[in-house]
């Protein structure tokens, strides 16, 4: 027996079962349903065609140049380090040769003085001749050795390990913070240690009371020196200066990773600085005060002051900047507001500090301790929430990607290389290996 069309108020007789809505409909409404599905397909076709046009129009050379720029920077810096190392060793050879020549010259002067005395006194003996001959023969051998084989140089070949440069194809959306592995290495921190830390391509600089220490890529303490200054607020690395920058409660210091010598910076205005970060050419400093100020200093012009941004440009008078950190021409900062007890993370351009986005954070407000963030995977950011013991993954577009509970209270965060995350806690520094769901790795030899 025939059934009426299920579409109200159609009175036509149904002719078919529509698979999209599982209803018996007439021919006219069946065609309408079919047209509706086709119409929904058209925008998808247009989108695919647009994507096809974009991928075809992609300038491969331009894309390659963008990615290879970092490799080029590494190449230039490596050449510079080799040149510096070469000059250092040449100076060592020069010092050895000069010292040896001076030593032999002093010996010759003594012999000549002795001979002149013997000639003047006319009291030369056979024993004097024997001693002079013996001394001159020895001196002749030493000078010959100096000219031919005084310095022995052992040169080890420069070995580039497979993991020196890891090139990864990372899809930001594929990374999930819940994949963070358990800490596979822990460096204990005794009471009185400060949590601030920073890394370059070789070392992680930490404070392990009473010393400040360099941790190498094997996660062992490579060097240490006693820290005789104040509370360490923040640390960053400058590729331009080839120095770590350390801020204590009163001063700014430059630290050489080779000698671990500290140089107090005297050319920068003395203010109560709280946080620091570096781009290729600039040092950024934020002040420890409500209505914080950010100062930009040109590192290649005698560390002179550059531009300054004050309240209300970067924050309001009732607001406080906890941390500033740089990555890829952008500056991220965490800001606390004492009026409404809120916390947010903002991303700004590093040249003019124009706001790119601002994201309120679901974090308990605390006026006593600063929150911390660091650059993360896919130009994202990782925020430590010490109040509730969590890590927050923020995407480069300013969205919360994921939130995970941490097994202890996290303070400072730092990426060490491309696949190690260091997290400082109350009792130590935890090291985690970063794994990706979808990673393509090329080892550059």
Count the domains in the chain: 3
Shared domain for 91 and 208, answered yes or no, is no
CATH number where 353 lies: 2.130.10.10
Question: Are residues 22 and 90 both part of a single domain?
Answer: no
Asked whether residue 375 falls in the same domain as residue 404, the answer is yes
Catalogue the long-range contacts made by 255-261 (C-beta closer than 8 Å, 24 or more residues apart): 255/205, 255/212, 257/200, 257/202, 257/203, 257/205, 257/214, 260/212, 260/214, 260/223, 260/224, 260/225
Over 50: is that where the pLDDT of 113 sits?
yes
Question: Are 113 and 210 contained in the same domain?
Answer: no
Q: Is residue 268 scored above 80 in pLDDT?
A: no
How far is it, in rounded angstroms, from Cα 336 to Cα 334? 7
Same domain, 53 and 78: no
- What's the confidence (pLDDT) of residue 315? 92
pLDDT at 232: 94
Q: Are residues 185 and 82 in the same domain?
A: no
Whether the CA torsion 223, 224, 229, 234 is positive or negative: it is positive
Same-domain pairing of 38 and 177: no
What proportion of the chain, given as a percentage, has pLDDT over 90?
Answer: 38
User: Which of 8, 35, 57 is at the close of a domain?
Assistant: 57
Give the Cβ contact number of residue 319 at 10 Å.
Answer: 19
The answer to whether residues 93 and 233 belong to one domain is no
What's the whole-number mean pLDDT along residues 254-277?
Answer: 88
Lowest mean pLDDT segment, chosen from 151-160, 214-223, 227-236, 412-421: 151-160
Mean pLDDT, the chain, integer: 85
pLDDT category of residue 131 using cuts at 50, 70 and 90: confident
pLDDT band for 284, please (50, 70, 90 cuts).
very high
435 domain-assigned: yes
pLDDT tops 80 at residue 441: no
- Looking at the fold, whether 290 and 400 belong to one and the same domain comes out as yes
Range picked from 120-124, 300-304, 402-406 for highest mean pLDDT:
402-406
- Do 402 and 300 lie in a common domain? yes
Under the banding of pLDDT at 50, 70 and 90, the label for residue 439 is very low
Q: Does 267 lie in the same domain as 245?
A: yes
Does the pTM exceed 0.85?
no
What is the extent of the structural domain holding 128?
A: 69-151
**Residue 9, preceding peptide bond in cis (omega within 30° of 0):** yes
313 and 370 part of one domain: yes
| Residue 347, pLDDT score | 96
* Domain presence at residue 317: yes
**Which pLDDT does position 85 carry in this prediction?**
86
More confident residue, 443 or 109: 109
């Amino acid at each position: 027996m025939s059934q009426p069309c299920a579409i109200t108020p159609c009175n036509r007789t149904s002719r078919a079962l529509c698979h999209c809505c599982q209803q018996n409909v007439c021919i006219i409404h069946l065609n309408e349903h079919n047209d509706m599905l086709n119409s929904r397909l058209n925008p998808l076709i247009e989108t695919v065609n647009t994507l096809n046009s974009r991928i075809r129009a992609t300038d491969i050379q331009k894309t390659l140049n963008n990615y290879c720029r970092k490799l080029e920077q590494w190449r230039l810096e490596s050449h510079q380090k080799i040149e510096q190392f070469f000059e250092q060793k040449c100076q060592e050879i020069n010092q050895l040769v000069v010292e040896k020549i001076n030593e032999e010259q002093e010996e010759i002067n003594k012999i000549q003085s002795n001979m002149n005395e013997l000639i003047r006194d006319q009291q030369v003996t056979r024993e004097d001749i024997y001693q002079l001959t013996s001394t001159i023969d020895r001196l002749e051998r030493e000078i010959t050795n100096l000219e031919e084989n005084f310095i022995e140089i052992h040169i080890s070949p420069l070995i580039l390990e497979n993991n020196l440069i890891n090139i990864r194809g990372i899809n930001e959306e594929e990374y999930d913070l819940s994949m963070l592995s358990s800490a596979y290495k822990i460096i204990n921190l005794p009471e009185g240690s400060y949590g601030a830390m920073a890394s370059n391509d070789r070392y992680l600089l930490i404070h392990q009371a009473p010393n400040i220490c360099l941790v190498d890529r094997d996660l062992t303490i490579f060097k240490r020196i006693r820290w005789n200054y104040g509370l360490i607020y923040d640390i960053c690395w400058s590729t331009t200066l080839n120095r770590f920058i350390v801020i204590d409660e009163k001063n700014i210091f430059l630290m050489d990773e080779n000698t671990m010598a500290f140089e107090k910076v005297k050319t920068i205005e003395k203010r109560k600085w709280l946080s620091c970060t570096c781009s290729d050419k600039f040092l950024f400093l934020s002040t420890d005060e409500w209505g914080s100020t950010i100062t930009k200093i040109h590192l290649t012009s005698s560390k002179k002051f550059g531009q300054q941004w004050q309240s209300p440009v970067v924050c309001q008078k009732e607001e406080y900047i906890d941390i500033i950190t740089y990555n890829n021409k952008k500056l991220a900062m965490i800001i606390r507001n004492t009026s409404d007890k809120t916390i947010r993370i903002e991303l700004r351009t590093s040249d003019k500090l124009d706001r790119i986005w601002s994201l309120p954070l679901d974090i308990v407000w605390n006026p006593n301790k600063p929150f911390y963030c660091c650059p993360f995977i896919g130009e994202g950011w990782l925020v430590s929430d010490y109040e509730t013991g969590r890590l927050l993954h923020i995407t480069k577009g300013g969205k919360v990607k994921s939130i995970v509970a941490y097994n202890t209270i996290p303070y400072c965060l730092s990426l060490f290389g491309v696949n190690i995350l260091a997290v400082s806690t109350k009792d130590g520094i935890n090291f985690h290996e970063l794994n990706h769901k979808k990673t393509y790795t090329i080892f550059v030899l």
